[in-house]
Amino acid sequence: MNSQELISFKQKALQWANQFEICCCFDSNEYTDPYSKYDFLLAAGARRQLNVNTGQAFKSLQEFQQANSDWMFGLMSYDLKNEIETLSSTHVDHLDFPDLFFFIPENLIIIRNGNIEVLRGEAGLLETIHALSPHQPAPNSMLNMEYKIDKATYLNKVNELREHISRGDIYEVNFCQEFFAENASIDPFGVYLNLNELSPTPFAGYFKINDNYILSASPERFLCKRGNQLISQPIKGTAKRSNDQKEDELIKKELKNNLKEQAENVMIVDLVRNDLTKSAVPGTVRVDELFGIYSFPQVHQMISTVSCQANPVLHPAEIIKNTFPMGSMTGAPKVRAMELIEETECSKRGIYSGTFGYFDADGDFDFNVVIRSILYNKQKKYLSFQVGGAITYASSAESEYEECMLKASAIIKTLAN
């Protein structure tokens, strides 16, 4: 199959899966990545499922996995932080995603090395999918996108966080803001196809749990396990791309050498190294790549890679708990940063800056960071996305605001379609 035929198949396969109450897909969009095992994964229908609130969620996940040694797909909300540390979340939740949800699929299709494989499903499933007519998107309602905080408030809050940094409370914090629409009527599948076409990324995905949808163009890996190796790839550092090739190369070079962006990135790399030591064979944590520059349709990003050998006595659920939530979405020191996030942000994060991904039958796993993602509750007709950035003492509140608007641009463009 050529590239275009694969894209067409993936769209039809997800269209078929979307008839189930529970389904998800993960799409690498053909980005080459030494740690990815699969180009595309599609799971539809649930043989068994786990849906639990914060409290004993990681313990429940461990028990669920021990009872079911199988493929599992699922998500973890940012607010699971409250069972790891003495923290709380007090903002109103308009989306109602589960705190932790996993399912064992009835149907499972994978693509690797350009080959489509049906691991689970009825005979003739591929023929059924190929025979589908292309999806005709239903028109979205006119969305009245609102900001949870206005620009002046945003600037004030960033400066307030910079004061905490100058006092030595924290070194860096990830501060986010929400865009939302009420009475939103959208075609989630059609919007996801638009988003993935406009902004194809290596950790993109679609996740449907009844009336809850994640439509994700995530560029970031939270954590993956390959054999006995753990890999985390935090993103810190963003620059807008140019249509002019020479200028674009210059922007890329400037990002690579930007001392402020390097300082932000290395603080989070140190935090990730510290998190990984809790799950590592002593002495094996290493930085494989520092300040790597990777290009996506709208932006260049600075991405570092940290790895270690996993302590074999630890269960995968414990390994994830030891690193959760991801440092790139919190700050350093982690606990104090999360306290200030709760104090200064005006929205509940929920699944935003949480993660979704899979455990495979070999015991490996791969989880993204839920950013650049549209979240939708079909029953409540509430649509939301959040964007954020790292605040350090060197941050300019105005520049941080502009970076947020840049990150929001692909999503706003998608919804305008």
In the DSSP assignment, the letter for residue 198 is: H
Q: Which domain holds residue 69?
A: 3-416
Residue-level pLDDT at 417: 66
- In which residue ranges of the chain is pLDDT below 70? 417
Q: What is the pLDDT of residues 246-269, one digit of tens each?
A: 999 999 999 999 998 999 999 999
Handedness of CA 393, 394, 399, 400 (dihedral sign): negative
Q: Tens digit of pLDDT for each residue in 172-196?
A: 999 999 999 999 999 999 999 999 9
Q: Quote the CA–CA distance of 90 and 200 in Å, as a whole number.
A: 34
- Measuring CA to CA, which residue among 382, 11, 383 is closest to residue 192? 11
pLDDT at residue 328 in the model: 94
Q: Which H/E stretch holds residue 212?
A: strand 212-218
CA 186 – CA 382 distance, rounded (Å): 10
- Dist. CA 157–CA 153, nearest whole Å: 6
Q: How many domains does the chain have?
A: 1
Residue 68 has φ and ψ, to the nearest 5°, of: -135, 90
Domain CATH code at residue 290 = 3.60.120.10
Calculate Rg over the CA atoms of the chain. Answer: 20
With a CB cutoff of 8 Å and minimum separation 6, the contacts of 1 are: 9, 114, 116
Q: Are 353 and 310 in contact (CB under 8 A)?
A: no
